[in-house]
Structure 1
C-alpha cells in the first residue's frame, strides 16, 4: 500500500535468547556446569563406580580365558565361558576345601605373631630412646596393627566384602557373556562421526587390560608358589598363608612386595634367628627372580608400565579411593596409557595428512 510506513528492523536485546552472543555464552556456561556436575556425581558415586570398574576388570579376565581356550577348543563362546567359570569355581572350592581349616588357623596365628613382634620392636626402640615411653608403646602398637587386624580378620566386614565380591562377579559375568553388546551400547553415547575412533580406542584399552591381567596372574602364581615352598623348606611357620598372601599382594606391584616381605620377615624371626634369616633370603631371592627374570619376560608380551608411574598412580589412587583404588590403580593406569598413546598416534596421523595436503 502506497504511503504505508515500513516496519523498522530492531536488533535483539542483550537479554534475549535469540541474541548470538547470549547463546554462545550460555552454551559455554552449560558445558562448565555439566563438567562440574559430572565431577560432583563421580565423587558421590565413587564406590559404586569402582565396583563397576572392578566388574569390568573381572570380565576382561574371563574374556582372556575364553580367548585363550578358543585356541585349543573350536567351540562356541558360550561353552568356552562356561568352562572357564567352572574351572575358576572348582579351583576356589578346592582351595578352600583342602586348605580352609589350615589357612584359618594360620591367619589367627599370623595376627597374634605380628602383634607380638611389633610390641617387641616398639619396646626395643623405646629402650634406645627412639620412641616415646613404654606407657605409649601399647597404644602405638594397637594403632599400627589396626590395619593388619582389619586385613587378617573378616568378622566385622564379611557381609560387605561378600556383597561387593558378588556384585563384581555378576557384573563381570554378564559383560563377559556379550562384550560386544555392551560395547555397542557405549558407542551409541558417542557422536556418529566419532564412533569408529572410539571403538578403536576401546579395543586398544581392552587388549591392554587383558595383557596386564595375564602378566599379573602369572606373577602372582609364581611368587606365591615359590614363597610357599621356600619357606616350608626353611621351616618358617605359616608358610602356606604367607605364600597365599604373597601371591595375592603381588597383584599390587611395589607396595604389595614390601608388605608381603615385612610379614614374611616378622613371622620368620618369631621362630628364631635362623628362620628369620631364611625368610629374608627367601624374600630377596623371590623378588630378584620376579624383578629380573619373570617381569622382563612378561613385560615384553604384556604392558610396559614404568615403575615410577605405577607407584605414583598407586599412591594417588589409594589416597583418593582407599584400598580398592590401590588394587585397581594398575588397570586404570594401563587403560589411560593406551588411550593417550592412541591420541598421540591420531595427532601424528592428522599432521601427516595436513603435510600431504600442502
Structure 2
C-alpha cells in the first residue's frame, strides 16, 4: 500500500505475459493455440462446404474417367490428345442423352408399375411373416424404409433431391472437362503453393492417385456395362417383367460396391417372383451369375490389383459418407477411400517406412 517492496514481493519472479510475443515461450504457446484454432476452423469449413467439396472431388473422379478414356483411345487412334478427348466427351454426352431418352420414353411407365409391384411383394412378405408368428406389418416395413432413407443426407439433404443431383452432376461435368483439357496446369498450380522441397513428392503422389483412380473407374465402368446389359438381356430372355428398367438400375447401382449389388438384387428378386415362382428363381439365378462374373472376373482383373480395398472398409465408408453427405457422398466414398489409401502409402514410402497392406 505504501509503494515499498516486501519480502514476499522480492521472491516473486516476473514471467512474460500474452503481449510479450518476442519471448520464445509465448511464441511457442501462441503457435500451438493457432494450430488448434486452425484445426477447429478447418473442421467447421469442411462441414459448411461439404457439398462444394464433394462436387470438386466428383469432378476429379470424372476427370480420371475422361483421361483414362483418352489414354485408352490413343492405342487405337494415334491423333492429338485434344481430338481424342473431344471424342470421349461426345461419346459421354451421347450416352447420357440416350439414357435420358430411354428413361423418359420407355421406362417411366415401368418405374410406376415397379413401385406397385414392390409394395405388393412387401405386403405378401408381411403376410407370410404374420402367419409365422411375426408381428411386422406393411406399415411397419414402410416406416422402417422411410427411416432408413431419411437418415441419409442430414448434412446436405438438398443433394438427394432431383434438382440438386442434376445440378451437381452438371457442375461436376463442366469442371471435369476444364480440368481434363489441361490437367498439368492445375497440378502445377497446386504445387506452386507448396515449398520447393515438397513439390517432387506431391507430383509423385498426384500421379499415383490419378493412376489408381483411372484403374478403379475403368473397373467400375466395365462392371456397370456388364451388369447392366447382362441383366437386361438375361432377364428379357427369361420373360422377367421390366427387364430394361432392371438392367438400367442394376448398371447404375453397380457404381456402388456392396450396397448397389444388394439393392439391385432385392429389386430383381421382388419383380421376378411377382411373375411366378419359376420366373423368380430364374431372376435369382441371373442375379447370382452376373454378380459372380463381375466380382470374381472383372473386378480382380481390372481394378483390384490397383486399389485392393477391403470390402468392410468400403462398406463402412459408404455408410458414413452416405449418412453425412447424402447420395453424393455415397457414390464418392469408394474413390475417396482409394485416394486416402494412396496418400498414406506414398507418405509412408517417402518417409522410409515400408507400406503396410
Matched ranges for 1:76-225 at <5 A = 76-97=80-101, 100-132=104-136, 137-138=138-139, 140-141=141-142, 144=145, 157-225=161-229
* TM-score of the two chains, using structure 2 as the length reference: 0.86
Gaps of 5+ in 2: 1-13, 153-159
1:18 aligns with 2:51: no
- Compared CA separation, residues 243 and 146, structure 1 to 2 (3 A): farther
Match of 2:38 in 1: 34
Whether the aligned pair in 1 keeps the contact of 2:215 and 2:303 (CA below 8 Å) is no
Whether the aligned pair in 1 keeps the contact of 2:16 and 2:26 (CA below 8 Å) is no
CA-to-partner distance for each residue in 1:152-173, whole Å, 9 max, x for gaps? xxxx943322211111111111
- Compared CA separation, residues 37 and 187, structure 1 to 2 (3 A): same
For 1:97 and 1:38, the matched residues in 2 are separated by: 43
Matched ranges for 1:33-52 at <5 A = 33-52=37-56
Tell me the C-alpha RMSD between the 2 structures. 2.4
In the TM superposition, residue 144 of structure 1 has moved relative to its aligned partner by 2.1
For these two proteins, the number of residue pairs brought into alignment is 332
Larger RCO, structures 1/2 (Cα 8 Å, 6+ apart): 2
* TM-score of the two chains, using structure 1 as the length reference: 0.86
- Compared CA separation, residues 320 and 148, structure 1 to 2 (3 A): closer
Matched ranges for 1:231-246 at <5 A = 231-246=235-250
Match of 2:323 in 1: 319
Whether the aligned pair in 1 keeps the contact of 2:219 and 2:298 (CA below 8 Å) is no
For 1:146 and 1:230, the matched residues in 2 are separated by: 34
In the TM superposition, residue 101 of structure 1 has moved relative to its aligned partner by 1.6
* SS, match of residue 73 in structure 1: coil
Match for residue 275 of structure 2 among 271, 274, 279? 271
For 2:116 and 2:61, the matched residues in 1 are separated by: 34
- Compared CA separation, residues 96 and 37, structure 1 to 2 (3 A): closer
For 2:45 and 2:353, the matched residues in 1 are separated by: 35
In the TM superposition, residue 344 of structure 1 has moved relative to its aligned partner by 1.9
* SS, match of residue 291 in structure 1: helix
Gaps of 5+ in 1: 1-10, 351-358
For 2:146 and 2:229, the matched residues in 1 are separated by: 27
Whether the aligned pair in 2 keeps the contact of 1:64 and 1:210 (CA below 8 Å) is yes
CA-to-partner distance for each residue in 1:182-220, whole Å, 9 max, x for gaps? 111211222221111111111111111111000100111
In the TM superposition, residue 71 of structure 1 has moved relative to its aligned partner by 2.3
In the TM superposition, residue 301 of structure 1 has moved relative to its aligned partner by 5.3
- Compared CA separation, residues 160 and 319, structure 1 to 2 (3 A): closer
For 1:223 and 1:28, the matched residues in 2 are separated by: 53
In the TM superposition, residue 146 of structure 1 has moved relative to its aligned partner by 8.1
